Structure 1
Amino acid sequence: MECNENLSESADTANIKKTILAAICVINEYYETYICKTPCMTSSSRGDKWIGELLQGHPTRFHNMFRMSQTIFLDLLYELECVHHLHGSSRTTSREVLAMTLYILSHNESIRSTCERFQHSSETISRYFSIGLEALVKLSCSVIKPIDPQFGDIPRNILYDHRYMPYFKDCIGAIDGTHVDARVSNAEKAAYIGRCGSTTQNVMAVCDFNMCFTFIMAGWEGSAHDSRIFKFATRNSRHNFPMPPPGKYYVVDAGYPMQRGFLKPFPDTKYHIPDFERGSQLVRGRKETFNKRHSSLRGVIERSFGVWKKKWVILRDMPTYSFKKQIKIVIATMALHNYIRRHSSREDPDFNICDADGTYIPDEAYEYRIGQSVVETEGNDFIRQIRDGEGAEEMVQLREKITDALMDEMN
């Protein structure tokens, strides 16, 4: 009996020792993994130090990294900190937060490669990219809107251009849609595949003649037609669409309804500038004369889209973020586009190219665009079914009046 008790005690002691040993192993592994882990990000060129070096360096080097000048970066940082509460931490400065956000947006860098560049963990990069994005979305509320909501003055780009003055003196901007690469679940893909055959989000934008966006409607399925988005944006006052005052109007293409304040080209007639450039450049008749001038004026929004997509590479190959975050990326980059353009320094080579050549349109503007040629409405049942809105006859008369004036100019 005593022998059995001794054996039982020995077994219990052995089990206790095994349990203690296992616990020691677990504690040791936890300590080495989370408490005394080997440092990973050990480069001497840490994020904030690298940014400081770039701020003191050559302007081209800084622009290549962040798509803006040092002056604009510092002014943007100040506004985001003071007005939109951009913040960092004891180990991550707010200028690092802005820099890593711009770095991801402008180069479409992965979180992993951004970790290496800024010497922070993936969790830190992900968290602060979201914070930076939110600050830029807040900024959009103050910069994506008309400078003058009353549209009192004739735009300089019309006033001092004999091609448009006085014919289009009451035009206040242009409207169009563009497609941005999108990542959605397999269940949603069908709705987001448009005529281009890729999954995209359809973005409607309004721009002024300074190439600044004054209204955007992002997040629509790639299969959604432009006229549907237009109606949604303009018929609900809570969207704050900048409606044209009486006597003013936007230029739109054939995919939009003709209605008061929105002037479209003649249907079933050559329209896009490339159509006129192919073959003979001779313009035949009243309708082509109007359409060519209308298309040239509306080209400002193509240039705006082109500069925007050229600067922010992430738009052309969207990572697998949530779709809500993809929409924020569109809004944030459009806010950056406007902030850079409206900055008093006017320091930007991408915009400067467009200013130097009024016909230049970056190739990026045509990504995901289907080439609707010569007669944009011909053979397109959906466009034929677009119903004109209230005041359409008034705009038809305006189109005839402008066409008469253009023909008189030629005679």
Structure 2
Amino acid sequence: MDGLLNFLAFDDNDADVASLVIQLWLRRKSPLQVWLKEKRRTLQRILRNTRIGMLNFIQQTLPRYPDIQFFENFRMSRTTFQDILTEFGESVDVRHRGEHNEVPFSLKFLVTIWWLGNQETFRQIADRFGTTRGNAHHIVKTTLIVIGERAVDYIKWPTGAEMEEVVSKHTFPNTIGMIDTTDILIKQPLRHLAAYTNRKSTTSVKIQGVCDSRKCFLDISAGWPGSMHDARIYGMSSLSGAINEKLAGTNFYMLGDSAYPLSARLMKPYRNGGFLNQAQINYNHQHSQQRSTIECTFALLKGKWRKLKYLDVTNLSIIPHILVAACVLHNYVVDVEGDEWYDDDFDNNSDDEFQFNANESDEDEEDGATALRNRIAASL
């Protein structure tokens, strides 16, 4: 510092002033700091424009939607939409901190539902709602994660008297629910391609679900690679280890297809080699009729949230969050509105029902399960 003062030829009386000038010069903002400040200002301007663009869509466009058009695009009625906003709004707003907190949850939820219920790209979403692709992606991602965190409140295994009520609504005796998996087609991943390539040579992830007669999910396990066998998914899921505890003190069981191992808690059909007796044929028929509910449930899930027909997602870690959030919203809407709803491209055909011979489980059957199945068949 003294050398610099001498170089600048300041008098002794001006030394304090010179020292202050030099300190201010040394503390000047670097080009990086200036750039960050400008980026921050730009982001704030974008967020303000985002809010304005979304408000314009809500205030000017949405009110002109007839009820059926609102239903087709948001996959639920206006009343249900408002109920969900009331149900989720407060808890979600608390978690959405940071730069995007300027956008209210009602607008975030609107963007997320539109993305999930349609097959539009983020570029199209951004254009529709007057924002950027990055903002739209961030809003959808964070909102889906937070909705998925409410799964414990909406995807619940029945207990006590609830189990009796669930079982009473099934036509197959002592059935607590129907179990199956379905494939969700995804963009070809950059890594572990073989693991995600299913038996149809397409890339997918699998979601295992157990549903009741209302087509509501009682349990889900999402994000398994498409090449995994249904029985292996079940064996590795938390449900496999907890099913005996969940059904303790009852004679209830789930219904699954031939891909699953036979056990006292999971009844599957007889393998049809052409030598079944009439009781076994009747058992298979009634079993298939009841078990088809889970196939209809998956078809309903994909038909309502059409983004699940193909997920153009590069980050595989976000896919389970998408699937869980979709199932949470599915249960909420079905519980309020039922499973009767209009969809212009609803498809009730499930590819999974044709897996009996291809995916026949080779695992050992649980002791006593065969005798139990024979008793059930004889009683029908």
TM-score normalised by the shorter chain: which range applies? Answer: 0.7 to 0.9
Instruction: Find the partner of 1:267 among 265, 271, 288.
Output: 271
Match of 1:327 in 2: 320
Between 1:220-229 and 1:118-127, the stretch displaced more is 118-127
Deviation at 1:60, TM superposition (A): 1.1
SS at match of 1:180: strand
> What CA distance in whole angstroms lies between the structure 1 residues aligned with 2:178 and 2:36?
61
1:240–1:112 Cα change, 3 Å: farther
1:299 aligns with 2:292: yes
Conserved 8 A contact 2:244-2:265: no
Partners of 2:208 and 2:221 within 8 A in 1:
yes
Could you tell me how far 1:188 is from its partner in structure 2? 0.9
- How do 1:48-197 and structure 2 match up within 5 A? 48-53=55-60, 54=62, 57-84=65-92, 85=94, 87=96, 91-148=102-159, 151-153=163-165, 155=167, 157-158=169-170, 164=171, 168-197=172-201
TM-score normalised by L of structure 2: 0.77
1:306 partner letter: A
Unaligned runs of 5+ in 2: 1-34
For 2:129 and 2:244, how far apart are their aligned partners in 1? 39
The residue identity in structure 1 corresponding to 2:263 is Q
Partners of 2:178 and 2:204 lie apart in 1 by: 22
Deviation at 1:219, TM superposition (A): 1.3
Looking at structure 1, the residues matched to 286 and 241 of structure 2 have their Cα atoms a distance apart, in angstroms, of 32
CA distance 1:201–1:300, shift in 2 (3 Å): same
1:261 & 1:36 partners in 2: Cα distance?
Answer: 59
CA contact (8 A) 2:189 2:314 kept: no
The secondary structure found in structure 2 opposite 1:120 is coil
Partner secondary structure for residue 295 of structure 1: helix
**Mapped contact 1:48–1:95 kept (Cα < 8 A):** no
Provide closer, same or farther for how the CA distance between residues 145 and 322 of structure 1 changes in structure 2, counting only shifts above 3 A.
same
8 Å contact from structure 1 (residues 146, 214) kept in 2? yes
Residue in structure 1 matching 2:350, options 361, 366, 371:
366
Q: Tell me if structure 1 keeps the 8 A contact 2:166–2:212.
A: no
Q: Cα gap change, 1:299/1:95 in structure 2, threshold over 3 Å: closer, same or farther? A: same
What secondary structure sits across from 1:177 in the alignment?
Answer: strand
CA distance in 1, matches of 2:147, 2:37: 40
Query: Alpha carbons of 1:59 and 1:242: their partners in 2 closer, same or farther (altered >3 Å)?
Result: farther
**Deviation per CA, 1:72-95, whole angstroms, max 9, x where unpaired?**
111111221223446485642211
Give the CA deviation at 1:248.
Answer: 0.8
How many residues align? The count is: 338
Give the deviation of 1:115 after TM superposition.
Answer: 1.0
Task: Among all aligned residue pairs of Structure 1 and Structure 2, give the percentage whose two residues are the same amino acid.
Answer: 23
Q: Pairwise mapping of residues 192-211 of structure 1 onto structure 2 (< 5 A)?
A: 192-211=196-215
1:48-83 per-position Cα deviation (integer Å, ceiling 9, x unaligned): 332345267422121122111111111111221223
Deviations 1:165-224 (A, max 9, x none): xxx331111001111112353431111111111011121110011100111111111111
Question: Letter of the aligned partner of 1:70 in structure 2?
Answer: R
- Cα distance change, pair 193–248 in 1 and its aligned pair in 2 (3 A): same
Which of 269, 275, 286 is the aligned partner of 2:279?
A: 286
Change (3 A) 1:384 1:214: closer
Structure 1 unaligned spans of 5+: 1-28, 159-163, 271-282, 355-360, 406-411
Which residue is 1:340 aligned to?
333
Amino acid in the other structure paired with 2:300: V
Q: Does 1:352 align with 2:340?
A: yes
**Alpha-carbon displacement from aligned partner over 1:218-242 (angstroms, at most 9, x marks no partner):** 11111111111111224444x9995
Distance 1:188 1:36, change over 3 A: closer
